Amino acid sequence: MGDNFLKKVYKKDPETIYRLVDDEPVIIPLRSDVDVNDLGAFYILKNKTAAYIWELIDGKRSVEQIIDSVLKKFQVNPEKAKTDVVCFVKELKGIKAIDNI
Amino acid sequence: MITANLDIDYRKKLILKRPLLTGGIGLTNFCNLDCIHCYIKDDNCNNRHEELNTKEIFNILEQMKDAGVVYLNLSGGEPLFRKDFKDIYLFAKKKNFAIIVMTNATLITKDLIELFKKYPPLMLEISSYGATKDTYESVTRTPGSFVKFNKAIRLLKNSGIKVVLRFITMKNNYKEAAMAEIFAKKMGMRYKCSYNIYLRLDGDKAKNAVIKNQRLNAEETVDLFNIMQEDLNEFYSSKLPECGSVAGCGAASIGCFVDSKGMLMPCYYLAKPSVSLRETNFKKAWKSIALAKSPIIEKQKVCKDCQHMVYCNWCPGISYLETGNTEKKIEYLCGLMDRLAKMKLIGCQ
């Protein structure tokens, strides 16, 4: 994973819906090409880290800064934090829930 | 870190926990078309003043959002028939709903398409009644409607707006179901076929007679599945309700419907129990519906002696429309199942 990617800043797509459903954080990216069923693409953010990263994607912080914040918030080793954040950001980009600045 | 979609296990879990997830509002009972199979259209203009006004709808949407509704179906009648449709749609968008607009498309304009492009719905679900003008208008009984429908579909093509074309099958049009599918694919749209038409909510006997006359009998049903090249036995199997649901589906567990006069009910077809949102706030009304002891509908209870139970489309909503009772057998479906079984097209359980 190159440094360029770590410097990138992402913002949430305004057409991505974020809600708590039965206390679980859920996102529904309306611009997603994935049309899995009648209810469209429906994604559950599986853990606290995912929900926290989602919160941090604000169009201001770079991927690198998000990794730093995750390291401060959770007790994980730096490599794991980096891998998790990068993978998650790529997943979100893939379903068009976020976009580059 | 993310997991995709409402898979079956997740859906079951949701239904057991009953968080309100989907809500519908019938914005009006009026429509610009005059479809022969319509279960809801009101012809009496004097009744329009009884329908929810813009402010009331905003208020209900606000409350639905607070109650947790994520998916919002805007239906009718014809929802685009309302002059304030754009205002309602934009208000719902601001409230961050995933919106499904259920429309016949004949009132779609370039302006509306621009609106949907800028503020996308989750999807437009467009009813389709025929692949040719004669057939389409034999259903809509509205001259010029086929041209308007086609024009709208062509405007929507390549717009980026997600569209599902839902073909409503009945005697007049079922032979064109496959042609309609080809058309949908050509337009880059998803296609769905609806195999049922329903009796009227107001119980109008003359109109119900027309609807009954349009239902497919067993032979025509077989013909339709042949035309669609679909497996009838597979389609009709596993029609048992999901465990833990109130009505055999998401109704009154993860879904609700508000009619054009503000009555909150389990679904479009099931008006029992219902509570007026003009008199009770949404959360309180929903609580009384979702937790209502009656009707706890069990298909197994109503159809316990029937060997075709797992194949049948019986549900409390249809039962209510057909018999005025949520727990009665539906003669039409019993007859259809018997006939299909005699033709050895569905198995016995």
Q: ipTM score of the complex?
A: 0.77
Residue at A101 is within a domain: no
- The mean per-residue pLDDT over the stretch A70-99 comes to 92
Roughly how many angstroms between the first and final C-alpha of chain A, as a whole number? 19
Q: Which residues of chain B are within 8 Å of residue A92 when distances are taken between CB atoms? A: 2
State the number of CA atoms in the 13 A half-sphere of B83 facing the CB. 2
Q: For residue B174, give the amino acid letter.
A: Y
Which of these, B239, B243, B246, lies nearest to B297 by C-alpha position? B246
Structure tokens at B39: 């279960």
How many domains, in total, are found in chain A?
Answer: 1
Measured in degrees and rounded to the nearest 5, phi and psi for residue A11 equal -125, 155
Between B48 and B168, name the one with better pLDDT.
B168
Distance from CA of B1 to the nearest CA of A (A): 6
The answer, for A44 touching chain B at a CB cutoff of 8 Å, is: yes
Element (H, E) at B263: strand B263-265
What CATH fold (topology level) applies to the domain B18-293?
TIM Barrel (3.20.20)
The answer, for A15 touching chain B at a CB cutoff of 8 Å, is: yes
d(CA B240, CA B313): 9
- The domain spans of chain B are 18-293
The maximal CA–CA distance of chain B, rounded, in angstroms, is 56
8 A C-beta contact, residue B170 and residue B197: yes
8 A C-beta contact, residue B286 and residue B276: no
Residue B61, pLDDT above cutoff 50: yes
Between B112 and B349, name the one with better pLDDT.
B112
Q: For residue B34, give the amino acid letter.
A: D
Residue A32, pLDDT above cutoff 80: no
**Chain B residue whose CA is closest to A88:** B1
Domain interval for residue A92: 3-96
Structure tokens at B285: 């009304």
Q: How far is CA B202 from the centre of its chain?
A: 17
Distance from CA of B9 to the nearest CA of A (A): 13
**B191-212 pLDDT, tens per residue?**
999 888 999 999 999 999 999 9
Q: Between chains, do B1 and A45 touch, taking CB under 8 Å as contact?
A: yes
d(CA B317, CA B324): 10
Structure tokens at A54: 């989602």
Strands B275-276 and B263-265: antiparallel
Residue A21, pLDDT above cutoff 70: yes
Output the domain CATH number for residue A22.
3.90.930
Q: Between chains, do B1 and A47 touch, taking CB under 8 Å as contact?
A: yes
The pTM of this model reads 0.88
**B218-227 pLDDT, tens per residue?**
999 999 988 9
Which of these, B35, B109, B108, B101, lies nearest to B74 by C-alpha position? B101
**Chain A residue whose CA is closest to B96:** A17
d(CA B117, CA B1): 30
- The mean per-residue pLDDT over the stretch B51-78 comes to 95
DSSP code at position A62 = B
Q: How confident is the model at residue B16 (pLDDT cuts 50, 70, 90)?
A: low
Q: For residue B193, give the amino acid letter.
A: C
Angle CA(A96)–CA(A101)–CA(B2) in degrees, nearest 5?
A: 35
Residue at A45 is within a domain: yes
Which of these, B191, B192, B189, B119, lies nearest to B155 by C-alpha position? B189
Residue A9, pLDDT above cutoff 70: yes
**B224-259 pLDDT, tens per residue?**
988 988 877 777 765 555 544 555 566 777 789 999
Q: Between chains, do A44 and B17 touch, taking CB under 8 Å as contact?
A: no
Mean pLDDT of the residues in chain B = 88
Of B19, B21, B120, the CB nearest to A30: B120
> What's residue B288's pLDDT?
86
